Amino acid sequence: MSKALEKYKEVLDISTDAEVARQVPKLTHGNIGDIKVGKRYLNANQCIFIAEIIGIDTKEALLELAIEKS
């Protein structure tokens, strides 16, 4: 889902992870760093929030999240 975070930044013309953390519910700047290195994952609500904004199917996004977690 780190690709989705980067796409989110691109779609909303955001340059920093800190700004993403302020916008995505219950996400911190530190969480984003952990997501990028595979230590942590978005939760389902965050995944849906981002998917809706970047224009991808929420079911596909949740499936990708589940695959990453396994």
The total number of structural domains in the chain stands at: 1
CATH label of the domain that carries residue 57: 1.10.260
Q: Which two tokens stand for residue 3?
A: 């690709």
Return the axis-axis angle of helices 44-54 and 2-11, rounded to nearest 10°. Answer: 40
pTM of the full structure: 0.93
Residue 57, sorted as left (phi over 0), alpha (psi -120 to 50) or beta, turns out to be beta
Instruction: Kindly give the confidence (pLDDT) of every residue in the chain, 70 residues in length, as a single tens digit, with 9 standing for 90 and above.
Output: 889 999 999 999 999 999 999 999 999 999 999 999 999 999 999 999 999 999 999 999 999 999 999 9
Give the structural domain span for 11: 2-69
Indicate the length of the chain as a whole number: 70
Q: Locate 63 and state its tokens.
A: 């499936």
Q: State both tokens at 55.
A: 């224009």
pLDDT at position 2, please? 87
Cα separation, 67 vs 56, whole angstroms: 16
Identify the pLDDT of residue 1: 83
